[in-house]
Amino acid sequence: MTRKTSKGARNTKAVKSETNAPFLKNEELTVDIIGLTHDGEGVGRANGFTLFVQGALPGESARVRVMKLKKQYGYAKLLELTKKSEDRLNPPCDIFKECGGCQLQHFDYEAQLAWKRQHVVDNLKRIGKLQVEGEGSDSGQVEAGTAGKANIAGITVLPTVGMSDPWRYRNKAAVPVGASQDSKELIAGFFARGSHRIIDMDDCLIQHDDNDEVIRAVKRIGRELRIPPYNEETGQGVLRHVMARTGVVTGEMMIVLITNGKRLPRQPEWIEHIRKALPNVKSIIQNVNERDTNVIFGDETRVLWGSEVIYDELDGIRFAISARSFYQVNPEQTVALYRTAVEYAGLTGVEKVIDAYCGIGTISLFLARQAGHVYGVEIVPEAIEDAKRNAKLNGIENASFEAGPAEVVIPRWRKEGIEADVIVVDPPRKGCDPALLETILEIRPERVVYVSCNPSTLARDLRTLEDGGYRTEKVTPVDMFPWTVHVESVALLTRNS
């Protein structure tokens, strides 16, 4: 006992010497929560030291246990709320505390919208070094009145565009498959927070009802056919993931079975059972992924039954969607996002518009209805083929598409006489390639419309464009993913005279 205590004391001293914390690991204390991190953790302060507390909300006080300490901050477990926020909700989802799919179901929806807008504001300030005039907080704390608009170095940040009914919005579900720890039967659901432990799920409140029906049916069929679920640790088993896509307007459904190998045991029975259970299914696809990876899809995709694509509509524009197409998961908010992008483009019917990162042509076709001509570029050749097919599907002739790196294709277009009046970018979370930003600054279009899924890289790239002679006029955050920490934004930049 004496030895154990001595060893523990030595460890405690070692921990304390590596941190500036005024307390020790496993110590219990009370903290005031002053904000939220980009991951949705409460930002707590105690004796001038920062502790991140999962499940706590701004304005609350909480008794916590210190779990991990770094030099300048630490992590703590929420034990008890000594003061609750008026914005706290009882999460309607039974597995919210375990599942990693949503982070904010305990946070009032209007307060979420205000926080997401403030999150954009704070990133523009801290990362973009764009000065706030009269409003905004470095802490990210949600304060009264933050749902209004802010002025940041001339930038108007508008209220977050939310949903009237922020549930059942996702048209795509992609869930891992595994075995239950006790019975070893096939299960499917989302990973628990911070782990690869699957939380079995039959009903997800942010998924379209049809997607939930697909997941339930595939689990049941897999169990009936005794299909071995994939085991990450051993690399054995057959079924790795199941993906469901739903055309919200058309009602068409696609099912993708991602397998660990080309052979799908009892394939005819799979098809028969799925068609019987799900009459609206139009496409049953197999994707083969034999690699030891967290990436869902492998390189080989084949149709088991039905069509290669399903169809859906956005604002009257029809789209063919294949298994691996990038297609926004919230149709209602996608229309709001793209209408804002078109509005910011300021089109009169004669402009030449370049759509970088055009994907399957979704924004391009929205723009083409009001532009002279739209030129879309995307590095993924399959996406460009989809974009061409979607333009043809809608009878849109003033849009053309080319595969390749935007920073290579766009300068060549310029040499060929294509001078863009407007450039629209919709990059992945890592933001724009620096070479593309340089290309934009060389071409110097009148307007740049930046559609972003990551406030931090948006702020970084706006800083680069502002330094190169542009002024960011306004930003509209759009809540594409209610009850999660994610927020999309549309920014308008105009060229300085």
* Catalytic sites, residue numbers: 453
Run of H or E residues at 461: helix 455-467
* 144 CB-near residues (< 8 Å, 6+ apart): none
What sign does the CA torsion over 267, 272, 274, 275 have?
positive
Amino acid occupying residue 50: T
Q: Tokens representing 450? A: 């930046």
Whole-number Å distance between alpha carbons of 488 and 475: 10
Q: Tokens representing 453? A: 């899924």
CA dihedral 14, 18, 21, 23 (to 10 degrees): -10
Whole-number Å distance between alpha carbons of 336 and 319: 17
Whole-number Å distance between alpha carbons of 324 and 309: 10
E-only strand ranges, 260-335:
281-288, 300-306, 310-314, 317-321
Amino acid occupying residue 32: D
- Sheet with 172-179, strands from edge to edge, namely 198-200, 186-191, 172-179, 239-246, 253-259, 281-288, 300-306
Which of these, 95, 91, 61, 102, lies nearest to 78 by C-alpha position?
61
* 41-47 contacts, C-beta under 8 A, 24 or more apart: 42/78, 43/139, 43/140, 44/76, 46/22, 47/22, 47/23
Residue entry with tokens 């890592």: 430
Angstrom distances, CA of residue 78 to CA of 24, 83, 479: 16, 12, 28
